[in-house]
Chains A and B, each alone.
Chain A
């Protein structure tokens, strides 16, 4: 039997780094094969070789038994390989059909869109990927956009599909839909490579697993059945991973953040927060649970001054609602934004310039009208060392850092300001096990140091591990606030789907 993909002894050498060190990888026809590894382990590199984006320094690549040599993604597409990247490559103002047809030779000049809409509907039917063909991309949810990306590869005749961390951006139900789609595809003879960090998903969906660590294979195509997340984590990290970061008992102090009856619209002008009230005390982590898109992002934005709102938000008694972000910053509010690349960092600026983003106005970095770049560099070097940011030096631009390291830069910057209040949105999303552990530990250290922390996360496990209390948000309203010790996943899950906790707790109750 020939394999769909055979990668033999693949070596990819970047200047100073051996990204893939004699990697073997085989994908059987009709299977879902999970590719696991920490950030920087070489997963993306390996897949980029398969997708024709990189060229291997050494090794052999066979697709359906035939040796191939890809010089561009076009060659890979022609060989039936499609890749769905983590960051979608879609034109927001165009329709689904237009995006799928983009770059193809057919249609040539005249667009008979309705004919193609029909074709795409048929394709959707076949794999259970429902998304209206005439909808514009910007109107779609992230999950729907991902379906468009998958349709794009299928329309181009892909029978080998590479999914780069597909679930990182999805809500729980969307993940289920995706899993069903992937199964439908493998049943129809397609093969799927599934890159992921989320161990429980891997054990759920994958047929076989290949694990990479530091460019080398630590488990090649082992059967997924019977694998535990703990075992996988060990293969990835090379040591036992303690899954629950331990938090100490701590009596919370005074109320730091008080949100009273706050409402706001989202960027499309639709009400996203409807009269939210909550409070966070010093030395306390309040977790916000909810399905993506129920107002979490907007809540973080109104507190940090990035979004206008009505109502009252005070930090240590100072009203900061509806005032520019600098007011929140000056009142000790730190913000770990949801989007590290788009909001939290400047991609082409150095690590140094990214670390001084919030403290360049004051001594020692700021010096009157000028910036003391010597002190700025020293500051950055200190953070790099303290937070174990992996980079050759502090002149490296932010865009060259891996997700985990970039997140560490952001955390280092925000923590170094010794915040009184910290708003952390999805702080561990898309990170590998090792990075998650260190970031969660840092958050708990802040709690020890007496900061009030609002933790917005879609990972219930994380919320249960870190939070003292959990508030559930649904369609812009708080369904209830419960003490972590007195609740369980079932209760939170019920509230996440819109059932209010009875008796309804007073929002300001501690």
Chain B
């Protein structure tokens, strides 16, 4: 080999922009590797890539669909971020998502409010119930961990299945819609409004017929917005990003979370109640995942049914990790993964999107090495002596 590769440990911290560039590079490399793999099996990487792009980001309508997929991902990503900051490995966002969806559904299934109740009341109540449902479901492993030191990874993971089957029980036995594995459609008052519902000013714009405005909207591809699926859940997600950021970066509690995460002994020494904090963090984490479940059934499927999540809770783990536990970074990562999920459904073989997800995760995790080590290529001299 004419070159030699050496790793040397970094002594100084890397500049702030460095991790982002590395992560971006990792994503690009995973695209390239997926492309090579596609080529090897006889596909056309560029064509597929282009198709992927159009299917997820090609126009406003599909981008809206991408954002719909990204909405629960933002919330579960935040759920994992909060827990991971304290080095509490909540692998149960999936179960908390189902628990939230279930609890929110109770509002219309029992029903707690009549079908003709004002939408505002029903939706608020469902959001609160969803968060409570997820919170309770996070509380259980949190309490077990805090009080009896039962490993939360195992309990949260196992409780995922419990939640899924619990849901199944009720939709098969109690609230089945004519024997199908789903509840009847929720009344309209329990549907999260689509953002286009708020677009009355937009319509008036178009109706003015002002060519400057219509021309502009046409240019950016927005001459029609009816039928766009984006719903209010995305606003929940964005609000929660700010809330979680504030908690983690500005609040006393966030400082405590990070202190416990970095050194629980020091936290105990500093007078923190670790037991209470573990439980609280799991409650908040669960509530965020529960809200994701509520947002998904009220904004997209409009009923409780089987498989309301294609593994959002698990993807949330990846998202939190890729976003380096930064709440704002969760947004772009969730959108990327939302696009992958959306486009992945439209191409064959359907596993491709999953493959790409796997590559991205793999690359990002391995790229961490570059944050801690410096890579150096050295030319090997012909004499065989290295410099």
Point out residues on A near B: beta carbons under 8 Å: 14-15, 55, 71, 304, 306, 324-326, 328-330, 335, 337, 339, 342-349, 353, 356-358, 360-361, 366, 369-371, 373
Residues 218-277 of B contacting A (Cβ, < 8 Å): 246, 250-253, 255, 258-259, 262-263, 265-273
Is there contact, CB below 8 Å, between B262 and A349? Answer: yes
* B197 interfacial contact with A, CB 8 Å: no
Interface centre among B255, B259, B269, B271 (most CB of A within 10 A): B269
Query: Bound complex: CA of A345 vs CA of B273, how far in Å?
Result: 17
Listed A/B pairs (5) with beta-carbon separation below 8 Å: A326-B271, A345-B266, A353-B258, A360-B252, A371-B255
Query: Bound complex: CA of A346 vs CA of B252, how far in Å?
Result: 16
Is there contact, CB below 8 Å, between B6 and A357? Answer: no
Task: List, in ascending order, chain A residues with CB within 8 A of B273's CB.
Answer: 324, 326
* B12 interfacial contact with A, CB 8 Å: yes
Question: Which residue from A330, A337, A366, A370 sits with its C-beta under 8 Å from B269?
Answer: A337
Task: List, in ascending order, chain A residues with CB within 8 A of B11's CB.
Answer: 14-15
Is there contact, CB below 8 Å, between B253 and A349? Answer: no
Query: Bound complex: CA of A347 vs CA of B6, how far in Å?
Result: 28
Query: Bound complex: CA of A118 vs CA of B329, how far in Å?
Result: 57
Task: List, in ascending order, chain B residues with CB within 8 A of A304's CB.
Answer: 269
Task: List, in ascending order, chain B residues with CB within 8 A of A14's CB.
Answer: 11-12
**Residue count of chain B within 8 Å CB distance of chain A:** 23
Known interface pairs A324-B273, A353-B255, A371-B250; A347-B262 also in contact (CB < 8 Å): yes
Minimum Cβ distance to chain A for residue B235 (Å): 24
Is there contact, CB below 8 Å, between A371 and B265? Answer: no
Task: List, in ascending order, chain A residues with CB within 8 A of B270's CB.
Answer: 325, 329, 357-358
Is there contact, CB below 8 Å, between A371 and B266? Answer: no
Is there contact, CB below 8 Å, between A345 and B255? Answer: no
Known interface pairs A71-B6, A325-B271; A370-B265 also in contact (CB < 8 Å): no
Is there contact, CB below 8 Å, between B268 and A361? Answer: no
Task: List, in ascending order, chain B residues with CB within 8 A of A15's CB.
Answer: 11-12
Task: List, in ascending order, chain A residues with CB within 8 A of B263's CB.
Answer: 342, 345-347
Task: List, in ascending order, chain A residues with CB within 8 A of B253's CB.
Answer: 369
Q: Mark B64-104, 1 if CB is under 8 A from A, else 0.
A: 00000000000000000000000000000000000000000
Interface centre among B250, B263, B268 (most CB of A within 10 A): B263
Is there contact, CB below 8 Å, between B6 and A346? Answer: no
Query: Bound complex: CA of A372 vs CA of B166, how far in Å?
Result: 45
Closest residue to A69 on the B side, CB-wise?
B386
Is there contact, CB below 8 Å, between B251 and A369? Answer: yes
Task: List, in ascending order, chain A residues with CB within 8 A of B266's CB.
Answer: 342-346, 357
Is there contact, CB below 8 Å, between A325 and B269? Answer: yes
Closest residue to A328 on the B side, CB-wise?
B271
Sample of 14 further A-B pairs with CB below 8 A, known A328-B271, A342-B266: A55-B8, A329-B270, A330-B271, A337-B269, A342-B265, A345-B263, A346-B259, A348-B262, A353-B255, A356-B255, A357-B259, A357-B266, A369-B251, A370-B252
Task: List, in ascending order, chain B residues with CB within 8 A of A356's CB.
Answer: 255
Task: List, in ascending order, chain A residues with CB within 8 A of B262's CB.
Answer: 346-349
Query: Bound complex: CA of A349 vs CA of B266, how far in Å?
Result: 11
Is there contact, CB below 8 Å, between B252 and A361? Answer: yes
Query: Bound complex: CA of A328 vs CA of B268, how far in Å?
Result: 12
Is there contact, CB below 8 Å, between B252 and A366? Answer: yes
Query: Bound complex: CA of A303 vs CA of B271, how far in Å?
Result: 13
Known interface pairs A15-B11, A343-B265; A370-B271 also in contact (CB < 8 Å): no
Task: List, in ascending order, chain A residues with CB within 8 A of B265's CB.
Answer: 339, 342-343
Is there contact, CB below 8 Å, between A371 and B269? Answer: no
Is there contact, CB below 8 Å, between A349 and B259? Answer: yes
Query: Bound complex: CA of A45 vs CA of B55, how far in Å?
Result: 56
Closest residue to B12 on the A side, CB-wise?
A15
Minimum Cβ distance to chain B for residue A68 (Å): 13
Minimum Cβ distance to chain B for residue A348 (Å): 5
Minimum Cβ distance to chain A for residue B371 (Å): 13
Closest residue to B10 on the A side, CB-wise?
A15
Query: Bound complex: CA of A360 vs CA of B255, how far in Å?
Result: 9
Residues 315-337 of B contacting A (Cβ, < 8 Å): none
Query: Bound complex: CA of A416 vs CA of B246, how far in Å?
Result: 28
Closest residue to B254 on the A side, CB-wise?
A371
Question: Which residue from A71, A330, A348, A371 sits with its C-beta under 8 Å from B251?
Answer: A371
Q: Mark B267-307, 1 if CB is under 8 A from A, else 0.
A: 11111110000000000000000000000000000000000
Closest residue to A326 on the B side, CB-wise?
B271
Closest residue to B249 on the A side, CB-wise?
A373
Task: List, in ascending order, chain A residues with CB within 8 A of B272's CB.
Answer: 326
Residues 5-24 of B contacting A (Cβ, < 8 Å): 6, 8, 11-12
Query: Bound complex: CA of A330 vs CA of B271, how far in Å?
Result: 9
Query: Bound complex: CA of A349 vs CA of B246, how far in Å?
Result: 18
Task: List, in ascending order, chain B residues with CB within 8 A of A360's CB.
Answer: 252, 255
Query: Bound complex: CA of A325 vs CA of B269, how far in Å?
Result: 6
Is there contact, CB below 8 Å, between A369 and B252? Answer: yes
Task: List, in ascending order, chain B residues with CB within 8 A of A357's CB.
Answer: 259, 266, 270
Task: List, in ascending order, chain B residues with CB within 8 A of A339's CB.
Answer: 265
Question: Which residue from B246, B258, B269, B271 sits with its C-beta under 8 Å from A343?
Answer: B269
Minimum Cβ distance to chain A for residue B127 (Å): 22
Minimum Cβ distance to chain B for residue A164 (Å): 18
Task: List, in ascending order, chain A residues with CB within 8 A of B268's CB.
Answer: 306, 325
Query: Bound complex: CA of A324 vs CA of B267, how far in Å?
Result: 12
Minimum Cβ distance to chain A for residue B381 (Å): 14
Task: List, in ascending order, chain A residues with CB within 8 A of B259's CB.
Answer: 346, 349, 353, 357
Query: Bound complex: CA of A433 vs CA of B265, how far in Å?
Result: 29
Minimum Cβ distance to chain A for residue B313 (Å): 28
Task: List, in ascending order, chain B residues with CB within 8 A of A371's CB.
Answer: 250-252, 255
Query: Bound complex: CA of A358 vs CA of B271, how far in Å?
Result: 8
Closest residue to A368 on the B side, CB-wise?
B252
Query: Bound complex: CA of A345 vs CA of B272, how far in Å?
Result: 14
